[in-house]
Amino acid sequence: MIRTVITGKKAFVGRHDVLQALYRALDDTVEEGMVRCVVSGETGIGRTALLGAFLSGCRARGVPVMESADQTRAERGPRVPAGCFHSPALVAGSSLTGRGTSLIGVAGDPHAPVPVGPKGALVAALRGREPAVLMVDDANCAGAVRLQRVLRVMAESVRLPLLVLLTERAGEAPSAPDTYRELTLGARRLTLEGLTPRETGELLRPLLAGRPGSRLTAACHRLTAGNPYLLAALAAHLRDASPRPGPDELDSVVLPAAGDLFVGRAARQHTHAVRLAETVAVAGNSGGADPALIAHLSGLGLVETLEGLDVLARAGLITDGDEPALRHPLVAHALLGSMTRLARNAVSLSAAAYLHERHAPAQQVADHLSASTVPHHENWSADVMLRAAGAARQAGHDGTARRYLEIVAGSAAGDERHRAILALADLRMNHDADGGPHALAALLSCAREDATRSALLARLGRVLSAPGAATTGTAVLDAVASALHHTVFEDWPRVHRLALRLDKVPPAEASHLLRGLPAHLRPDAGLARRRASDAPADPHGGGPLQTVVEAVAAYYEYLVDDSPRHSVDRARAALARGGRWSDVCPTAFTAALTVLTDSGHPAEAASHLNRIAGTPAEASAAAPYGGRAELLYVAGQIACVQGDLDAACRSLTAALTVLDGPDGAPALRADTAGMLANVLVGRGELDKAQNLLRDGGWLGRLPAGHRHQDLLLARARCAVGLGALPDAARDLGELRRRARADGLRRTGTSLWRAHGVELLDQIGAVVEARTLAEQQLRFARASGSAFELGRALRAAARVDAHGAEALLREAVTVLTPDHAPLDLAAALTDLADLDARQGRRRESVDALTRAVELAERCGAGELALRAGQRILVLNGDTALHASLGGVLSLTPREREILVDAMRGLTNRRISQKRTITRRTVELHLSSAYRKLAISGRDGFPGLFRAPGLWTLLTSAPDARRT
C-alpha cells in the first residue's frame, strides 16, 4: 500500500522500504550503540521530505531528536533559543520547521523550554537507554566547524543508543572532505530512487486536486523519471494552464526553473557542466552521442569532457553509459528551450559532419542531420538524406523532410531516386489532400524509371477512385496523359476512366466495353501472346496496361460465363506476368485474385498475393498488407474459402475499417461487408452479423448493381437463423432477380454455392434448388477444382434423395481436411444424418465427432453446435434443450405442416397443398405448438434461433432415437 502524507501544499509518497531501514537502524542502536546512516539522492528526489516523515514517526514514539543546523545560512527559518528543548513537532509532511538552530525535541510540551545545553541534554536523554536521533541535513555541504561539533557529540555517544542520520546531495563534493570522511566512516548508505509509476499517480492526485488518468500519469512519470520536485513543478504548470494540456501535449512543456536548479548545482562542481549538459540535450534529441562526439561539440578536451560527464552522472543528471543522455526529459526540454534554434542547429550539423567524416552508419548521421539544415555545398550521401528525411517526418518537420527529398530526387539515380520521389509524393499528399493529385501528376514528369511511374500511378489511381474525386479528375488525367506520352503507360488515363465506368454498368456491358479498347490493349491480344515481360520496348506493345485489362476482363467474364475455365486461364496469365503491373491498377490485381479464389483455387491465389504483396508476417501487425483495403479483402476472401473463419474475420474487419473512411470505395465496401456478415453467421455470431448489416445501412433497400449478392445472402441466412423464412425468401428472390438483370451466371459467388441450394430448399423452392445443384456440378467440373467438386456433390445430395449417399461419400472422399476443412465438416454432418436414418448409429456418431473437430478448428461455431446437437440426439440426451425434445416428439405429419407454416403458408394454403381440411391443419399445428411450448406462429423466431434445430426438424422421422 502506498501512503501519502499531505501537509499544506506538500505531499510525501511511498519510500516505505527506506523508512523501514531507518527504523531498523534506530532499533539497532539499543544493542549496538551508535549507528550512522547516510541518505543520498539526486536533486529534488525528496531527502528532506523523507526526513520529515521519519521524524514524525520518531515523535509518535517519543524519540528525542536533535538537528545540527548551520547558523550561518540566512535562508533558515525563525530561530529557537539555543540550549532549549523543543517538541518533536519539527516535521510536517515534506518540510521541517524550526530549522536554523541546534535543538533537541522530546515528547513533551512544545511551549515549555527547558534551559539545558544541547549536548548535555542529548547525553542525559541517552543515559536513559532510550534511542535518540541526531540529524545533519546536507552534511556534505556543511562546513568544518559544524561537522566538528557533530563529531564531538558522537565521540561521547559511541556506546549510547544514538542514530546519527546524515543526508547528502548526490554528486556534490564535501566542503570539508577529511572531516566528512571521518563523520561517515562505517555508515549505512541508503539511496533514494525516483517514484514508481503507481507512486507518481498517488503524488499527482493531491497536487492536481483529483485522480489523474493513466495516460497522464504515464506521461508525467516518463518526463520526470519519478522525481518528486519535477513532478510538483509539472503539476503546478498543469494546474495553472488553461486549457490544461493533455498527455500528448506534455512534451512541449518547458519549465526553465527545472533546468536552472538541476544544472546550476552541477555547475558549482564543474566549470563546463552547463555547456556539457546542453550538448548532451541537443545530441540526445537527435540520435545521441558518445563522449568523443560530446567533446568535439563542446570544444573541450576528451579528459575534461569525461570529468564533467562524471560530475553530471554522479549528480543523477545523465545516464552513466557509452552514450550519456539526460535522465529527465523535462530537464532536457528546459535546456533545449534555453537555447536558440540557431545554436541547436549548429550542434546538430556539427555532429552530422563529424560522424560523416568518420564514416559512421548512415542512420546515425541522418538522425543528427534531420535536426538541422542541409548546406548545399556539403557532400551528403543520398542514403543519409533519405534517412534524415524519414527522421524529420517522424518528428513532424515536414518542411525539412521535403527539402532533403527534393535534393535526392534532383541529384540521385536508381533506387535512391525512386524512394525519394515516392516519399515526396506521400508527403505532398498528406500535406495537401486537394492539391495532392496535381502534385503526383507533376512528379510523373520527373520520373525516369517505369517502376517509379508505376508506383506513382498506383497512388494516383487510389486517390482518383475515391468518392468526390471526379471534380478534379479530368484536369489531373489530362496532365497525366501529357507526362506519360511515349511511355508504356501512355494509355493509363484511358484505362483508368474505363475502370471507373465498369463498376457502374452490368458485367455483360463491362465485357463489351473492354472489347472496344484499341487493339494493343484488348484482353485477347495479351492472352494470345503470353508475354513474359511487362515492359516491352514498343509503347504500343501491350505491357503492364494490357495485363491490367486482361485481369479486369477475366473478372467480368467470370461473372457472366457458366464455365469458369477461360476466365481462370486469363487470370492466371495476368498473374504469371509478375512485375509491377499490379501497382498500376491495384483493383485489377484484386480482380485476378478474386477469379482464382472464387473458382476454387484459394491456395494458388494466396501464393500470388504473398509473392507480390508480401505475407502478413512481413507486414506490420497493426496494418497488414500496408493497410490496403483491396489486399485485406482478398486475404479475407481466401481465408473464407479455405474455411479459416477466424482469419477471414480479422482481415475483413481490418478492410472494412479502412473502407469506412471518407475515401472508401463503395463497391469494395459492399463486397467486404457482405462477406464479413456471412463469416459472422458461420461463426455462430448472428447478433454481430445483424448489427453489421444494420449499422452499415444494408438491411433496407440496396442500391442497384451486382455488388450486393453476398449482402443479400447474409440477410437471408440471418432470417433463416431467426426462423423468419418469408424474409429469407424475399431476400433470396431479390438476389436472383438482380442476378438475372445483370446477366450473372446462376452459380454466383463461392458463398452462394456453399449455401444457396440449402437455403432454396429451406424456403420451399425445391425446383430451383435442384436446378442450381445441377449447374453447380457443371461449374465445378469445368473449374478443375477438387474443392468446388466436393462442395457441388454435397449440394446435389441435398436435393437427390435416391443418390444422396453415393454423392456424399464421394464428396467426403474429394474434400480434404487440409484444403477444405469447413466443407468437409459440412459434408460429414450431412452424411451422419443419412447414416442415422439408415440405422447406422455408430458411423453417424463417428462422422459427427469428426465434423465437430473440423468445425471448431475453422472457427465455425454454428456448424460445430449443430453437429454437437445431432450427437446429443443420437445419444438420447435431450434434456439439455427443451426445444430439442419437442422437435423429436413431433409426428411426421406435424413436421410437414409445421415446416409449411414456417415458410409462411397460411392454413388454407397448407390444406390445399397437403389435400387435407383446414381443421386437420389446425389440429396438427396446435399439437406441434403444445410440444414445442409456443403459443403460435409468433414463437417461431425464438424457437429456431438455436443452430441445428431447423436441420433436425426437416430430417426424416427415423432420425429420432426410439
Domain shared by 660 and 730, yes or no: yes
Task: Assess if residue 690 is contained within a domain.
Answer: yes
Most confident of 480-489, 527-536, 591-600: 591-600
Task: Assess if residue 664 is contained within a domain.
Answer: yes
Q: Under DSSP, is residue 189 helix (H, G, I), strand (E, B) or coil?
A: strand
The pLDDT of residue 946 is 58
The pLDDT of residue 83 is 30
pLDDT per residue over 89-128, tens digit each? Answer: 323 222 323 333 333 333 333 333 333 345 555 555 555 5
User: Which of 761, 778, 793 is a domain's end point?
Assistant: 761
d(CA 534, CA 525) in angstroms, rounded, equals 14
Is the pLDDT at 600 greater than 70? The verdict is: yes
Residue 622's pLDDT band (boundaries 50, 70, 90)? Answer: very low
Domain shared by 626 and 750, yes or no: yes
The pLDDT of residue 216 is 92
- Of 431-435, 438-442, 836-840, the range with the lowest mean pLDDT is 431-435
Domain shared by 804 and 786, yes or no: yes
Task: Assess if residue 77 is contained within a domain.
Answer: no
Chain centre distance of CA 254: 31
- Stretch 772-788: mean pLDDT: 93
Is the pLDDT at 84 greater than 50? The verdict is: no
d(CA 133, CA 117) in angstroms, rounded, equals 16
- Stretch 312-330: mean pLDDT: 89
- Stretch 747-774: mean pLDDT: 92
The pLDDT of residue 785 is 92
What is the CATH number for 147?
Answer: 3.40.50.300
Q: Convert 802-847 into a string of H (helix), E (strand) and C (coil).
A: CCHHHHHHHHHHHCCCCCCHHHHHHHHHHHHHHHHHCCCHHHHHHH
Domain that holds residue 168: 1-70+126-193
The pLDDT of residue 458 is 82
Domain shared by 37 and 179, yes or no: yes
Task: Assess if residue 220 is contained within a domain.
Answer: no
User: Which of 871, 906, 939 is a domain's end point?
Assistant: 871
The pLDDT of residue 893 is 86
The radius of gyration of the chain from alpha carbons, rounded to an integer in Å, stands at 41
The pLDDT of residue 375 is 60
The pLDDT of residue 73 is 41
Domain shared by 559 and 516, yes or no: yes
The pLDDT of residue 647 is 94
The pLDDT of residue 70 is 55
pLDDT per residue over 206-259, tens digit each? Answer: 888 888 889 999 999 999 999 999 999 999 999 888 888 888 888 888 888 888
Indicate if the alpha-carbon torsion angle 427, 430, 431, 436 is positive or negative. Answer: positive
Is the pLDDT at 194 greater than 50? The verdict is: yes
Is the overall model pTM greater than 0.75, yes or no?
A: no
Is the pLDDT at 466 greater than 80? The verdict is: no
What is the CATH number for 810?
Answer: 1.25.40.10
Domain shared by 628 and 581, yes or no: no
Domain shared by 595 and 511, yes or no: yes
- Stretch 495-516: mean pLDDT: 83
* Cβ contacts of 571 within 8 Å, gap of 6 or more: 551, 554, 555, 558, 591, 592, 593, 595, 596
- Stretch 394-419: mean pLDDT: 85
Q: At CB < 8 A and 24+ separation, what contacts does 102-105 make?
A: 102/66, 102/67, 102/68, 102/69, 102/71, 102/149, 103/66, 103/67, 103/69, 104/64, 104/65, 104/66, 105/59, 105/64, 105/65, 105/66
- Stretch 866-871: mean pLDDT: 82
* Neighbour count for residue 354 (Cβ, 10 Å): 17
* Closest by CA position to 421, among listed 411, 408, 434: 408
The pLDDT of residue 887 is 74
Task: State which amino acid sits at residue 697.
Answer: G
Place of cell 501529357: 482
H or E stretch at 38: strand 35-41
The total of structural domains in the chain comes to 6
d(CA 124, CA 114) in angstroms, rounded, equals 13
The pLDDT of residue 81 is 29
Decide if 451 contacts 418 (C-beta within 8 A). yes
Place of cell 471507373: 500
In a 10 Å sphere around its CB, with 0-12 CB exposed, 13-18 middle and 19+ buried, how is residue 827 labelled?
A: buried
**Is the bond preceding residue 131 a cis peptide, omega within 30 degrees?**
no
Q: Are strands 10-13 and 4-7 parallel, antiparallel or unpaired?
A: antiparallel
Is the pLDDT at 881 greater than 60? The verdict is: no
User: Which of 761, 787, 810 is a domain's end point?
Assistant: 761
Residue 604's pLDDT band (boundaries 50, 70, 90)? Answer: very high
* Neighbour count for residue 138 (Cβ, 10 Å): 16
Residue 626's pLDDT band (boundaries 50, 70, 90)? Answer: low
Percent of the chain exceeding pLDDT 90 equals 27
Task: Assess if residue 902 is contained within a domain.
Answer: yes
- Stretch 809-817: mean pLDDT: 93
The pLDDT of residue 795 is 94
- Stretch 645-671: mean pLDDT: 87
- Stretch 541-545: mean pLDDT: 67
* Closest by CA position to 246, among listed 215, 206, 205, 225: 215
The pLDDT of residue 759 is 92
d(CA 512, CA 517) in angstroms, rounded, equals 9
Residue 900's pLDDT band (boundaries 50, 70, 90)? Answer: confident
Domain shared by 783 and 853, yes or no: yes
pLDDT per residue over 684-707, tens digit each? Answer: 999 999 999 999 999 988 888 788
Percent of the chain exceeding pLDDT 70 equals 83
Decide if 566 contacts 557 (C-beta within 8 A). yes
Domain shared by 795 and 690, yes or no: no
* Closest by CA position to 439, among listed 405, 391, 396: 405
Is the pLDDT at 441 greater than 80? The verdict is: yes
The per-residue pLDDT of the chain, averaged, comes to 81
Q: What angle is formed at CA 423 by the lines to CA 419 and CA 429, rounded to 5 degrees? A: 150
Task: Assess if residue 753 is contained within a domain.
Answer: yes
Write the DSSP symbol of residue 318: B
291-298 vs 273-284: helix axis angle to the nearest 10?
120
* Cβ contacts of 459 within 8 Å, gap of 6 or more: 422, 425, 426, 429, 440
Domain shared by 26 and 63, yes or no: yes
Q: Are strands 95-96 and 91-92 parallel, antiparallel or unpaired?
A: antiparallel
pLDDT per residue over 326-375, tens digit each? Answer: 899 999 888 888 888 888 888 888 888 888 788 788 887 888 888 776 66
The pLDDT of residue 130 is 80
Decide if 579 contacts 556 (C-beta within 8 A). no
pLDDT per residue over 130-162, tens digit each? Answer: 888 988 888 888 888 888 988 988 888 888 899
Cell of 496: 483508368
Q: Under DSSP, is residue 200 helix (H, G, I), strand (E, B) or coil?
A: helix
Sheet with 103-105: strands ordered across:
85-86, 103-105, 65-67, 132-136, 162-169, 35-41, 188-191
* Closest by CA position to 13, among listed 202, 191, 163, 144: 202
Domain shared by 153 and 173, yes or no: yes
- Stretch 421-441: mean pLDDT: 83
Task: Assess if residue 816 is contained within a domain.
Answer: yes
Q: Under DSSP, is residue 953 helix (H, G, I), strand (E, B) or coil?
A: helix
List the beta bridge partners of residue 105.
Answer: 65, 86
List the beta bridge partners of residue 191.
Answer: 40
* Closest by CA position to 587, among listed 540, 554, 621, 541: 554
The pLDDT of residue 94 is 28
H or E stretch at 686: helix 686-695
Is the pLDDT at 42 greater than 50? The verdict is: yes
* Closest by CA position to 828, among listed 872, 871, 880: 871
Residue 878's pLDDT band (boundaries 50, 70, 90)? Answer: low
Task: Assess if residue 383 is contained within a domain.
Answer: no
DSSP notation for 96-145? ESS-SS-EEE-SS-TT---B--HHHHHHHHHTTT--EEEEETTGGGS-HH
- Stretch 785-808: mean pLDDT: 92
The pLDDT of residue 7 is 39
Domain shared by 697 and 831, yes or no: no
Is the pLDDT at 796 greater than 50? The verdict is: yes
Task: State which amino acid sits at residue 924.
Answer: H
